[in-house]
Amino acid sequence: MTLSKKPLYYPVAIIFVVVAGAIFYLGYATLQNRHREEQLMIQHLTSLGTALMKSVESSMGVGMMHMSWQRRELQTLFEDIARQPNIHYLLLVDENGRIRVSSGAQDVGGTLSGPPVPFDELLADRVTAQPVRRYGNRESFELQKLFAFNRSRSHMSMMHNWMPHMNRMLGVSDTRLAFVLGLSMEEYHAARQEDLRRALTNGAILVILALASTFFALVIQKYYATNQALRDAESFTRHVIESMGQGLIALDAGERIVTINKKACALLNLDETAVQGRPFLQVMEPLDCSVDTKEILAREWKEHRMRCTLADGRSLSLSLTTSHILDEQNELLGKVIVLRDLQELEALEEKVKRSERLAGLGQMAAGIAHEVRNPLGSIKGLAQYFARKFQDEPEVKKYAEAIIGETDRLNRIIRDLLDFARPQQPQYRTCSLTDIIDHALALVQSDLQAKHVQVQRRGDDAVPPLQADPDLLSQALMNMFLNAIEAMQPHGRLSITSRFVESEQTITIQIADTGHGIAAKDLPKIFDPFFTLKKGGTGLGLALVHRIIENHGGSIDVHSQVGKGTTFTILLPKKP
């Protein structure tokens, strides 16, 4: 059983597309968030650094204006500022890269490590910022600007008084100075790491959810596929059971009916819905079977013949097969009972026996006819001689003529026996059923008129031409018509109905009369030689009819009710 790919794989593909989209969006959002945090960090550190530098410039300006600051106070100012959180260093550097003031006293007078300060690009009123690695390769967010005092009018008038003092204090003559401020980026890096961890965690959760969703989708699809396969298998099994030619009854461990097919219901005259779930013994209780119902359940039977009488009085011949269903631990799960109708088989066996019996009788009849015919010829000749010799003696002549009549009757019987014993093989040719029936009716026309029998014909004009021996079929139909006429009272009705079954390529001929009918006990014997219900009959007419129909590859059946008439049904193939 093949499942389509659409229901099995499309949900999984959709899950992966959704998760991939979510992961892509998560990565994009993380990158955007990192960029935004970087911009905020730059803005924040730049603002902080600018404020600190301006604060230092103002403090230095105030100290220098009062001529009270020395290098020690300036150094203390830088060191105090550097003690604030997130400040790595604060430097005042000249154009030669010499550190004039530093938050670390040990660095004063030394040369600035790392990249030089680009004095030509710096301005006094604008800060430049960039990440830089100095002092132990530690990354800092470094801000740089030219050193300049407050440019207000009141301060400009006093610059010439304290600038020489500033130069002497810093040990510089005429050179520019630049502030270099290094701020910590650890909080920013920690925040970025936390965002990255959070993004990775969310991504991992999405992947786990995707895998879990895929797993459950596959499990659900597998469940539905298995469920569908089970339903298909159940439907297939149910159709197989229903199409079986035998009756099947399945019982559970409690001997209750769980499955019964239509054939079993038809055989036992049961209602499927009424017996479903009922105990088997209770269902079989109204039936009278040759095998006890409890024995059916207790033993395993193999093609055992039994006869059952149903509730409506019908007698049924069945073949019984039972089997116990066991699990892996040999525990009983249930039982299966198979019933096969043997009526057709018995009818076929009866036909075979009849054919064998007829064949034996035919051989015996041929032998008897051969042995009797010559003496009969002698007897008839002597009787004719005595009839002529004693024609003047009426009584002797009467006896002689009686002998001649009986001899002729015996000769007719012998002729029929020989016809039965050595039936002619059909000489097949294309013929019309209408012509055959017309010819047979013409042969019995006088008998029909003598009893004023009404003939009804239906359907033979619609039957196509067939391959048969028209003479033999006419002889068979004539014998059947004569039997029907003899069985009816005057003004009876003889019905002849023909039809062609195209699907089976067969022709059916039904011959029905309104005669006195045949008793049920006599029906199985009417095709036997020498069996007759007619006074003075030989009992070979229907036996010969049976032989002719069989030689054409057909069959003949009879249905009759006493007082209502008899119907013979002939089935012939269109082609032998």
CA distances from 531 to 507, 527, 528, 541 (A): 28, 8, 6, 10
> Half-sphere exposure of 158 toward its Cβ, with a 13 Å CA cutoff?
15
Q: How many CB atoms are closer than 10 A to CB 264? A: 23
pLDDT of residue 4: 44
> Half-sphere exposure of 538 toward its Cβ, with a 13 Å CA cutoff?
19
CATH number for domain 245-341, candidates 3.30.450.20, 3.40.50.720, 3.40.50.300, 3.90.1010.10: 3.30.450.20
Structure tokens at 542: 């229907």
Contacts of 311 (CB under 8 A, 6+ apart): 269, 286, 287
Beta-bridge partner residues of 570: 509, 556
Using DSSP's 3-state secondary structure scheme, residue 219 falls into helix
Q: Which of 426, 438, 21 is nearest to 203 (CA)?
A: 21
Tens-digit pLDDT string for the chain (576 aa): 344 444 555 666 777 777 777 777 777 777 887 778 778 888 888 888 888 888 877 777 666 655 556 677 777 888 888 888 888 888 888 888 888 888 887 888 888 888 888 888 888 788 888 888 887 667 888 888 887 754 444 444 444 455 565 666 666 666 788 888 888 888 888 877 887 888 788 878 877 877 777 777 777 778 878 888 888 877 777 777 777 777 888 888 888 888 888 888 877 888 878 888 888 888 787 788 878 877 877 778 888 888 888 777 777 788 888 888 887 788 888 888 888 887 777 777 776 676 666 666 666 666 666 667 677 777 777 777 777 877 778 887 787 778 887 787 777 777 766 666 665 678 889 999 999 999 999 988 988 998 999 999 998 888 899 999 998 899 889 889 988 998 899 999 999 999 998 888 899 999 999 988 888 888 888 887 777 776 656 667 788 888 888 888 888 889 988 888 999 999 999 887
CB 278 within 8 A of CB 257: yes
Q: Which of 371, 512, 516, 496 is nearest to 438 (CA)?
A: 496
pLDDT of residue 8: 52
For 469-490, give one letter per residue: b (16+ CB within 10 A) or e. Answer: bbebbbbbbbbbbbbbbebbee
CA distances from 467 to 95, 406, 473, 550, 552 (A): 130, 40, 11, 14, 9
Q: Provide φ and ψ at 129, rounded to 5°.
A: -135, 145
CATH number for domain 5-190, candidates 3.30.428.10, 1.20.1250.20, 3.40.50.2300, 3.30.450.20: 3.30.450.20
pLDDT of residue 158: 46
Domain boundaries, the chain: 5-190, 245-341, 346-421, 429-573
State whether CATH 3.30.565.10 applies to domain 429-573: yes
Structure tokens at 515: 């005669």
346-421 and 429-573 have identical folds: no
Q: Provide φ and ψ at 196, rounded to 5°.
A: -65, -45
What is the full DSSP assignment across 85-135? Answer: TTEEEEEEEETTSBEEEESSGGGTTSBPPSSPP-GGG--SS--EEEEEEET
Nearest-angstrom CA–CA distance, 347 and 330? 41
**pTM for the structure as a whole:** 0.42
Domain spanning 346-421, CATH architecture: Orthogonal Bundle (1.10)
Beta-bridge partner residues of 558: 568
